[in-house]
Structure 1
């Protein structure tokens, strides 16, 4: 037992780094193992960070073309994707400095890079030729793009979120396979940069887990910008002809493009980990964990994409905090995802927390839906960003869920997250003074729709007339 590490963390993404950092600074003997040459994980190198930088560059190009709407000379120009991706990767490199292995080593954490870990027993892993024993383990190995088994598909020719940010030439035409968040975000960005984008969604609708009403509004916004969107498109095969690809679906529709971007979901990184040798139960969706993030081996924990239930960096960080409580402080704490927000970073953004209207209806919950459009908000009008709507699902004055489609929805959602977390009622939002002119005023305007009918009812009007007759 004397030679065992207190904690072995497998995976140097968001969740693994939080756990390794805190545990090391608390004095535990920690080993952090990352199979890549750098720390940071998919979010930093291939996901959240580079995609948002690309989206911002695309929005700037879009605004420059829209300059005439602001009384300025509009501009049309070719895009050098190599230069765009150069600035994207410079941002990644800057943030990478915060994940310098030497910072973790200064905390006393052993950092092993460049080789994967695999279990050889419930209390030992092998890294290269070395066997490391541990009292407790955390698996935080993340996920990777899922490549569907389509006849004619060649993974080496495809673009994914792992290769798009190294692309040097902007494709004249691009097919995006998948109508989820990644497909919509990157599809819109590439369209704004100048590619003719066709998005193919296998199911009947985009963003299947989001509010249907707001998704329909978003889809119209995207098609108005020029994206070609085809739903119910089950691809039968892909043919390679004259440096182009022809995609044939079940409707016998044919789409010919220069490049194909696959965004058809994620798969957990458990291959090569040999979890069965440690007695860890898995499913095709990843590693099974209980609400305390423990696997079937109670001394082995898992967090992030590899454990689910969602594939969000902020979920991984939240789960990391739970593991620190459970594994380091031995204070039992369970995961609760009822008030977990998420954002699809299209323009306009789509943010969600809690129940959608459809989910409340399916669960048989008696509820009221409050709505308000951004086109009625002065700040949105001044910025010419009026597309979108707020929807609140309420019951007895409490917010059960919120859906926002609109400018900066990812920022605006957090007032509603806090209201739900603290148990505040919609009256508390109405009573809070919101600065003018701000987009956040839409929250107060939305909840006030709950009172309008009563305020201006015949009964209230009679009461006001009676009060006016009172002396003084």
Structure 2
């Protein structure tokens, strides 16, 4: 086979890879986008979008069941599992088709369907033996599910995010391993759609919530809907003819064996770098096989190799993958003119109900970098006016600020409208606003965001800048 000569080779055509391609193509003409699997981003095919479609169906069922609390009578709610999954798959395929259209618009000479591995830092070889000589390479191979040892022997009754959305109908029962973002989102959605769900975790973590008070509030709220043990003891998971049997220590103290149709492994994802031959690049690799890199330039050491997206194991979120792809693509094309790119304020959202959001510095980072130099403001949504009106009055918001400067540092939230409040707070953090600046912004009445104002006022007082909170301050309106 005739070897290929290119300026920039990009391995992986997901969100980061396509972003890298567009950015590199703006600077050089010779760019090759290489994909060894199916086209279509993780988000569109097996992540963000199909999970939100399932959550939307669950919200509709939940709201119908809760209507009586408002004086609205709804007759028995039934869920057509096949219809639910048919819509998930139909709309998922529609989102994927948009990605495929983008791929089809790339010149055929700029893309290659093949699996490749490094022979050295500037030479790739396909599984068919074709060599690709690239002056610079961007690794954007994404991530893959990680299975704990207790689940590795399972076969047809094991689900991950890679296949759960292809089920022809909803199962009747589901054991979820991993109360992280995906595990909790899908567990709650399945439960609200009538599936018997139990969630098993290790170490006590719940969706990366750092604050122990917020984590316990979330734990209690979720346990009102489905069984969740974030520090579970599971002795065995055995496949049967009809499903799986899980032997576990129940929270009531008794060992139990319970049958389930399926197990959903939501125990995390790891960079999909195995088989790339990164050991041949001469780059130092960490325990996950990922080369060290500068998170502002995405350059691996001082080499001509760059890394972006989930493969970097940095911030496995779509907007971060898009940013990283752009930065890596531009720097690969401009090399050796490597420049730091914009890394935005950290923002993460979990689409459970109540939602979970984190912004800026988390509690662990604050204790490490701002020890004894930050204060915490708090609000409970239990009595927050608009939240009570909508019967969404659950959760806690904590906001963090720096002593002395009054600078807003970050926040963690379990509560209503967290996806929207999280964005407001991320914008404020990126603009380096002080808590006083934020309180000068307009707050309408009655809105859930008034709860944010209460937390900020509490924080400003603890920063010794603002007055003490007035209980049930009526200049804000009742229930603010």
One of 290, 298, 306 as aligned partner of 1:301: 306
Query: 2: CA distance between counterparts of 1:257 and 1:178?
Result: 16
User: Which residue of the other structure, out of 272, 277, 298, is the alignment partner of 2:275?
Assistant: 272
Higher normalized contact order (CA 8 Å, seq sep 6+, divided by chain length): 2
1:234–1:446 CA distance, 2 compared to 1 (3 A): same
Secondary structure, counterpart of 2:159 in structure 1:
coil
CA distance in 1, matches of 2:151, 2:442: 59
Quote the Cα distance in structure 1 between the aligned partners of 2:469 and 2:451: 23
- 1:29 is matched with 30
- The equivalences for 1:244-323 within 5 A come to 244-249=243-248, 252-291=255-294, 292-296=297-301, 298-323=303-328
Tell me the CA shift for residue 256 of structure 1. Answer: 2.5
TM-score by length of 1: 0.88
Deviation at 1:151, TM superposition (A): 7.1
Q: Which residue of 2 aligns with 1:341?
A: 347
Q: 1:439 aligns with which of 436, 448, 454?
A: 448
2: CA distance, partners of 1:236 / 1:41:
36
Superposed CA deviations along residues 365-419 of structure 1, whole A, max 9, x for unmatched, are: 4221101122343332332211122210111311222112122212211211121
CA contact (8 A) 2:378 2:396 kept: yes
Change (3 A) 1:288 1:76: farther
Distance 1:238 1:354 in 2: 39
Distance 2:348 2:232 in 1: 27
Which residue does 1:70 correspond to in 2?
A: 70
Question: Secondary structure of the equivalent of 1:221?
Answer: helix
Report if aligned partners of 1:104, 1:111 keep a CA contact under 8 Å in 2: no
Deviation at 1:101, TM superposition (A): 5.4
1:93 is matched with: 93
- SS of the aligned residue for 1:380 comes to helix
| Selected match of 1:405 from 401, 406, 414 | 414
Post-superposition shift, 1:457? Answer: 9.6
Q: Does the CA contact (< 8 Å) of 1:105 and 1:111 recur in 2?
A: no
Q: CA deviation at 1:81?
A: 2.5
Name structure 2 gaps, 5 residues minimum.
Answer: 471-480
| Mapped contact 2:211–2:363 kept (Cα < 8 A) | yes
Q: Is the 8 A contact 1:237 1:249 kept in 2?
A: yes
Distance 2:88 2:109 in 1: 30
* Other-structure match for 1:448: 457
Q: Which residue of 2 aligns with 1:421?
A: 430
Residue of structure 1 equivalent to 2:476: none
Aligned to 1:178: 178
In structure 2, how many angstroms separate the alpha carbons of the residues matched to 1:16 and 1:447? 40
The alpha-carbon distance between structure 1 residues 254 and 102, as it changes in their structure 2 partners (threshold 3 A), is: closer
Distance 1:151 1:27 in 2: 46
When structure 1 is superposed on structure 2, of 308-317 and 435-444 the one drifting more is: 435-444
Aligned residues: 454
Instruction: Work out whether 1:387 is the aligned partner of 2:394.
Output: yes
SS at match of 1:23: helix
Q: RMSD between aligned alpha carbons?
A: 2.7
Secondary structure of 1:66's partner?
A: helix
What secondary structure, in the 3-state scheme, does the structure 2 residue paired with 1:267 have? strand
**Counterpart in the other structure of 2:11:** 10
- Where 2:224 maps in the other structure, the secondary structure is helix
Q: Distance in 2 between matches of 1:249 and 1:284?
A: 31
In the alignment, structure 1 segments of 5+ residues that lack a partner are 459-472
Distance in structure 1 (CA, Å) of the matches to 2:468 and 2:176: 50
Match of 1:328 in 2: 333
Contact 1:79–1:170 (Cα < 8 Å) also in 2: no
With the length of structure 2 as denominator, give the TM-score of the two structures: 0.87
Q: 2:384 aligns with which of 369, 373, 377?
A: 377
**Residues 87/221 of structure 1: CA separation in 2 closer, same or farther (3 Å cut):** same
Matched-pair contact (CA < 8 Å) for 2:176–2:266: yes
Kindly indicate whether the alpha-carbon contact (under 8 Å) linking 2:28 and 2:333 is maintained by their aligned counterparts in 1.
Answer: no
